[in-house]
Structure 1
Amino acid sequence: METPLIVTDFLEQARTHFADEEAIVGAAGDRFTYAEFGERVDRFSAALQERGVEKGDRVAVLDPNTHYHLEAAYGAMQIGAIFTPLNYRLTPDDYEYILNDAGVTAIYADHEYAEKVDAVRDSVPTETFVTNDVGAVEAAGADAGDWESFDEALEEAGTEFDRPEMSEDEIITINYTSGTTGDPKGVCRTHRTETIHAYLMSIYHEITDDDVYLWTLPMFHVNGWGHIYAVTGMGAKHVCTRGVDAETVVETIREEDVSFLCAAPTVLNQLIDYYESEGHPEMTGARDVRVTTAGSAPPEATIRAVEDEFGWYLKHLYGATETGPLITISDTKRLIDEETRFDVKKRQGMGVLGTDVRVVDEDGEDVPRDDSTIGEVVVRGNQVMEKYWNKPEETEEAFNDRLEGYYHMGDLATVDENGMIALRDRKKDIIISGGENISSIELEDVLFDHPDVGDVAVIPAPSEEWGETPKAFVVPANGDPDDPPVAAEELTEFTRERLASYKTVRRVEFVEELPKTATGKIQKYELRQEEWEDEEQMIGQG
């Protein structure tokens, strides 16, 4: 028998079997059962349809990790609208581009971030603007009546709406990610890809109905790595937050008896600093805690602190927005013992179920399992994206560069005798700082606009706090690196004023010239080699 894989079935499963169980602890302390959560979702679905939103329309959600985000996401998807989560750290110009690129019909924006959307509302196609605090948005400068109240819309809407027929191959979410160029790319994911990825997360994160999941991972980030689906479908509990504060995280873990969370290496480092500064407080409630980190591996010292000091169990996964993200995991228990656990957990790991992960050379041939020959990571699996929204050429290249039919990760890695991969370098011009993708080309374009910059190259530099941080090698316009016409601090401020804060160039080095090929192409590899010569690998724990 074959039945379609539809993402809204995760909520229906929880409503059927766990209606009276607590579903959500809101960031402000609100508590909802699955029955109450489901009713609010139904009301938002009805409210969207009353405002003309139809199947296939894009509905954007700009929100930190609150219950409104979950309600808006499921409310949109129940009517077949395409859920489009937005990174709340972007600038108004970024939102203008994305809302136009996706053709967004309606947006729900948290009151702290609605001002950025309001600034560009006259230049986007969006017609419906909803927030969770109209008064706060109007106090920030919005015209009265321009924004509707989320809660009032729910009260007026009722629970009846038309649920359309949906196919598992239809796009249900678009996640925007920074590319190697300045414009973000919309990663299109179908009901099928999201569902299968959520199944994988449920398996490899060992999610059960009595889990209590703490939202430190942004919900906008690859739909919270699929946990908006997996945690819901299993009938587990969501504990929401409005950002990451180490003291609040630890207190919440104890008070809510949290059993599972995800955290970038930078968040783990914040928690370690708190643990040390506060005299080694208790880091768990009554239950054991599992934590997953992603991307480049955390250092051994971080793993040791989390597992030996906190008493948590750490898993390390790898992937990208385009892949769900889960494609590999290092939690291979047969290979882990006290002597090997750090070596194993620092690797990106081996492919998960139903996922073909390979490391190939420039001819598309698999590199040997010698843990020294470097190739590019490519992947094929049911959790991999459908395409980039409105970008057929980029889609074609992403799936057919070295090896036809595989998504190309842009990361360079080796493979050991057990088939476990380890990242060694990055092929794409992407910096991953604190879990956020930053385009080095975008930063270079901004710096080139400064009249005192003659030439520039931006690369990732190692950072203890963020894993990687943007560093600019600048040839000053006067050609004299010892007496440049502009200070490094001025260039940092120049980028801060024009880009999202996390994209700011943190380090600047003035140089007489940049290394180039005979044809004039900048050899960033040489710059990275020099910058990372004291590190084990040319890729950070970002």
Structure 2
Amino acid sequence: MEKPLLVTDFLDRARRNYGDHEAVLGVDGERFTYDELGERADGFAAALQARGIEKGDRVAVLDPNTHYHLAAAYGSFQAGAVHTPLNYRLVESDFEYILNDAGVDAVYADYAYADKIEGIRDEVPTETFITNDADAVEGDWEEFDEVIAESTAYDRPEMAEDEIITINYTSGTTGDPKGVCRTHRTETLHAYIITIHQEIADDDTYLWTLPMFHVNGWGHIYAVTGMGARHVCTRGVDAEYVFDKLRTEDVTYFCAAPTVVKMLGDHLDEHGGEPDAGQDVRVATAGAAPPEATIRMAEDEFGWYIQHVYGATETGPLITTSDARRFFDDDSEDRFAVKKTQGLGYIGTEIRVVDEDGNDVAEDGETIGEVVVRGNQVMDRYWNKPEVTEEAFTDRVEGYYHMGDLAVVDENGMISIQDRKKDIIISGGENISSIEVEDTLFSHDRVDDVAVIPSPHDDWGETPKAFVVPAGGDPNDPGVTADELIQYARDNMAHYKAPTRIEFVKQLPKTSTGKVQKYELRQDEWEEEDRMVGEG
């Protein structure tokens, strides 16, 4: 027997089996059962259709981790629209590109970010604009709670599991952002996989510290909902709020970059108190390896259990885990060596590390190759970018997505990221394209040449650092200060992407053909570190 895998099944199941149980604690303190969440999603689906949205049309959601995001996402799914979550940390020019590239027909934007859309609405094809506080937003915006109250009657179209249902934009390494197309099938199977590996159950309470726009919250908008667990929403990561919910809402699971875990530890050191109410707490962390001190603090001092996972927007995202308990005891020192690796492939996921000819590297923990992956959670394609899609699946070995990360494999088959093939900086869990930062700095009239690399950072793992050749050629008299260049970057791009460190140099190391040798810059910058990739 074959049953189509559809993302609408997750909320359908929760309504059917957990309808009168609490589903969501909103950021305003309001609580919703699964029946009530379902009615809100129905209302949003009906409102979209009443405004001309049809199956396959793109609906963008620009929202922190609120209850509105969940209702808008499922309402879009139910109408057959393609959910397109937006990173609320971007700037107007980013949104203008994405809304045009995806051909977005409707947008829901939280009141705190709607002005970024209002400023470009005449430059994009979008016709429907909805927010959760129209009085707080300039321009002609409809009120979310009013539009969902119009009707809950909508027509759910026939949908197939191989049809695109989400587009998640990733910065990439060069050029414009890329829209990662994910189907009902890829989203559903990824949610099944994380339900297994992250041990999600109906009595879990999940705290939304991970942005929902990050690949649909790593699939947790599906998995947590489908299992009938509770969502506790947030408006970003605030340590006091996080600890309050851990102590009062029986939170049992949340996701956090290593820098967030460290931030929580620093807050507790300063303000005191218990980290939770005594319940078992799991924390999933991802990206580069968390420092051993971070794992030790979370597990030995707080009593939490760290699950280190790895992936990319294109892969679901999650494809590996170091939570392989047959390789360590929970109270032993040897667990750190395992938990700092990216680990083993998720069930149904094939992870390889290959050399330039596509051959598997030796499992000796020393030979470096590129990580490639094949699995049902991997994306369908990039939106309107067939050539880039083909390269991503064929560069070193046919039929595998190429991660762009360089790794080694140990004797147990566990991978450990050593460096990155592409010019991506991961700072506090956020991907930053060094090319984009360079382009911004190049536009300053006092910058003659520039190269941006990741620089070690105690809190964020790594941070963008720019090596700048000043227009006058004299690094001792550049004609502009480092602080002025940093502010210039912040004025022209999302703040989190801007460099935090500037070093003026007479020239950049280059090959005979004029290509900047960033590897040399990274090697010098990371000389005192164990590897040239940030831990966090």
Band the TM-score falls in, shorter-chain normalisation: over 0.9
Aligned to 1:392: 386
Aligned to 2:377: 383
User: Following TM superposition, by how much is the alpha carbon of 1:182 offset from its aligned partner in structure 2, in angstroms?
Assistant: 4.0
- Which stretch shifts more, 187-196 or 482-491? 482-491
Choose the corresponding residue for 2:161, options 155, 168, 175.
Answer: 168
Q: Which runs of 5+ in 2 are unaligned?
A: none
Alignment of 1:46-85 (within 5 A): 46-85=46-85
Deviations 1:514-540 (A, max 9, x none): 111111111000100000011111000
Letter in 1 for 2:472: N
CA–CA separation in structure 2 for the residues paired with 1:274 and 1:180: 34
CA–CA separation in structure 2 for the residues paired with 1:439 and 1:290: 31
Aligned to 2:147: 153
User: Following TM superposition, by how much is the alpha carbon of 1:184 offset from its aligned partner in structure 2, in angstroms?
Assistant: 0.9
Please say if 1:475 is aligned against 2:460. Answer: no
Aligned to 2:524: 530
Report the TM-score when normalising by structure 2: 0.99
Aligned to 1:334: 326
Letter in 1 for 2:164: I
Aligned to 1:321: 313
Letter in 2 for 1:183: D
Aligned to 1:311: 303
Letter in 2 for 1:241: T
Deviations 1:127-176 (A, max 9, x none): 00000000001xxxx23xx10000000111x2111110000000000000
Aligned to 1:438: 432
Aligned to 2:226: 233
Choose the corresponding residue for 1:353, options 347, 352, 357.
Answer: 347
SS in 1 for 2:445: coil
Fraction of identical pairs, as percent: 70
CA–CA separation in structure 1 for the residues paired with 2:495 and 2:176: 17
Aligned to 1:447: 441
SS in 1 for 2:462: strand
CA–CA separation in structure 1 for the residues paired with 2:4 and 2:142: 35
SS in 1 for 2:4: coil
CA–CA separation in structure 1 for the residues paired with 2:66 and 2:103: 25
SS in 2 for 1:533: coil
Partners of 1:348 and 1:420 within 8 A in 2? yes
Deviations 1:46-104 (A, max 9, x none): 01000000000000000000000000000001111000000000001110000000000
Letter in 1 for 2:458: E
Deviations 1:262-315 (A, max 9, x none): 001111111010111123x21122421000000111100000000000110000
User: Following TM superposition, by how much is the alpha carbon of 1:368 offset from its aligned partner in structure 2, in angstroms?
Assistant: 0.1
Alignment of 1:16-95 (within 5 A): 16-95=16-95
Deviations 1:183-205 (A, max 9, x none): 11100000000000000110011
Q: Over aligned residue pairs, what C-alpha RMSD do you find?
A: 0.7
CA–CA separation in structure 2 for the residues paired with 1:286 and 1:236: 19
Aligned to 1:212: 205
Choose the corresponding residue for 2:236, options 243, 248, 265.
Answer: 243
Please say if 1:8 is aligned against 2:8. Answer: yes
Letter in 2 for 1:437: N
CA–CA separation in structure 1 for the residues paired with 2:384 and 2:489: 28
SS in 1 for 2:407: strand
User: Following TM superposition, by how much is the alpha carbon of 1:541 offset from its aligned partner in structure 2, in angstroms?
Assistant: 2.2
Deviations 1:378-422 (A, max 9, x none): 001000000110111111111111111111101000000000000
User: Following TM superposition, by how much is the alpha carbon of 1:212 offset from its aligned partner in structure 2, in angstroms?
Assistant: 0.3
SS in 2 for 1:327: strand
Report the TM-score when normalising by structure 1: 0.98
Aligned to 2:104: 104
Choose the corresponding residue for 1:293, options 268, 281, 285.
Answer: 285
Letter in 1 for 2:277: G
CA–CA separation in structure 2 for the residues paired with 1:266 and 1:221: 17
Choose the corresponding residue for 1:183, options 173, 176, 179.
Answer: 176
Partners of 1:369 and 1:416 within 8 A in 2? yes
User: Following TM superposition, by how much is the alpha carbon of 1:511 offset from its aligned partner in structure 2, in angstroms?
Assistant: 0.8
CA–CA separation in structure 2 for the residues paired with 1:233 and 1:285: 26
User: Following TM superposition, by how much is the alpha carbon of 1:223 offset from its aligned partner in structure 2, in angstroms?
Assistant: 0.2
Please say if 1:283 is aligned against 2:275. Answer: yes
Choose the corresponding residue for 2:510, options 512, 516, 529.
Answer: 516
Alignment coverage as a number of residue pairs: 534
Partners of 1:182 and 1:439 within 8 A in 2? no
